[in-house]
Structure 1
Amino acid sequence: MKKVLCLYSTREGQTKKIVEYIVERLEGYQCEYVDLHQFPTLDLALYDKVLVAASIRYGRLHKALYQFIESHHHQLDKSKAAFICINLTARKEEQNKDTPEGSVYVQTFLRKSFWQPEMIGVFAGALRYPRYRFFDRIMIRFIMMMTGGETDTSKEVEYTNWDKVKKFAKKFRDM
């Protein structure tokens, strides 16, 4: 059976949920999930495909992502590997914030990263106010107020466009 490695960096779980949704559409693949925050050392040659997924918090990707890429970029370059970036700004599809070209986060990633993925997806995440610590709840509410998003801190809102994720999964399967 073919194998896919899914590496993820998530805070409240939406990134892993999106990765799991993609994997459900990869018929004929056995999947291994690895949390990038565990600083893994892996042999990517053991996998037919590699999916790297990371979420944005306060405008940044977690440093564990960059550490992993620095250690494994040669293997990533040789792999059938894709990158997905999950962020709340991607909810603004009409402004193309859900594209690699229109995402400031992806553009920053590409400038800073040793790895230049051949396939990139950008998806809106979820707003999980009740799960945030007090400081995060206040700061994220302020950011959402400035960007025209949900500010009711009693709510959880999922902005993910699942049709777009499904199309990405098909492209990733066929790559």
Structure 2
Amino acid sequence: MSQTLVIYSTVDGQTKAICQKIKEINVQMGHDVTLVPLTEAKKMILNDFDKILIGASIRYGKHRAELYSFIDENYEVLASKVSGFFTVNVVARKPGKNTPETNPYMIKFLQLSSWRPRLLGVFAGKIDYPKYGFFDRFMIRFIMKVTKGPTDTKGTFEFTDWEQVNRFAEDFSKQ
């Protein structure tokens, strides 16, 4: 049984929900899984784990700066482990933008980071207009209008392909 650490960096919670599903599947497949936010992972001894998976969301076109700091500070350990990384973004709702090779945020991540995880994934996120404050609701609606996405600020729109998440979780379990 491997000791697996699943770390998430999320703004609105969809990345955490995806990580919880990945944890559930990996536990079913016989792994011991610890799920923590990035802030808690900074305090952990990463060498205690056999496998490490990081999931991170995008907001306004960027992963959070603390994600890159964490990777830089723990590069040697991450590089020595079975590892995976996935990004969650609404751009991935579009065909041709939903794979590690075609998603602009994964491409940018790989340009900015020297870490090369064994497994990469891209998942479409969720827009939850009622949950946002005025500024975020306005900005996300504007971005959706430009990119031909949903603009009804009373609505919640989930784009995550949960079957894709399940396949990724199973693939990570087998690493």
Alignment match, 1:171: 171
Match of 1:108 in 2: 108
Q: What is the Cα deviation at residue 38 of structure 1?
A: 4.8
Distance 2:41 2:151 in 1: 34
Counterpart contact for 2:57–2:63, Cα < 8 Å: yes
Q: Does structure 2 retain, via aligned residues, the 8 Å contact 1:86–1:124?
A: yes
Q: Which stretch has the larger CA shift, 102-111 or 25-34? A: 25-34
Residue identity opposite 1:76 in structure 2: L
1:45 is aligned, of 44, 47, 66, to 47
Instruction: Give the whole-Å Cα distance in 2 for the aligned partners of 1:133 and 1:114.
Output: 35
Is the 1:6–1:33 Cα contact (8 Å) retained in structure 2?
A: yes
Alpha-carbon displacement from aligned partner over 1:88-132 (angstroms, at most 9, x marks no partner)? 00001x22x111110111111111113111210000011011111
d(CA) in 1 for partners of 2:41, 2:4: 18
Structure 2: segments with no counterpart, 5+ residues: none
Aligned residue number for residue 86 of structure 2:
84
The one-letter code of the counterpart of 1:131 is K
8 Å CA contact retained: 2:22, 2:169: yes
In the alignment, structure 1 residue 29 sits paired with structure 2 residue 31: yes
> Is the 1:100–1:106 contact (alpha carbons within 8 Å) kept by the matching residues of 2?
yes
Secondary structure class of the residue paired with 1:157:
strand
- Structure 2 residue matching 1:25: 3-state secondary structure: helix
Unmatched runs of 5 consecutive residues or more in structure 1: none
In the alignment of these two chains, the number of paired residues is 173
Aligned twin of 1:67: 69
Report the more deviating stretch, 143-152 or 35-44: 35-44
The RMSD of aligned alpha carbons is: 1.2
Report % sequence identity.
43
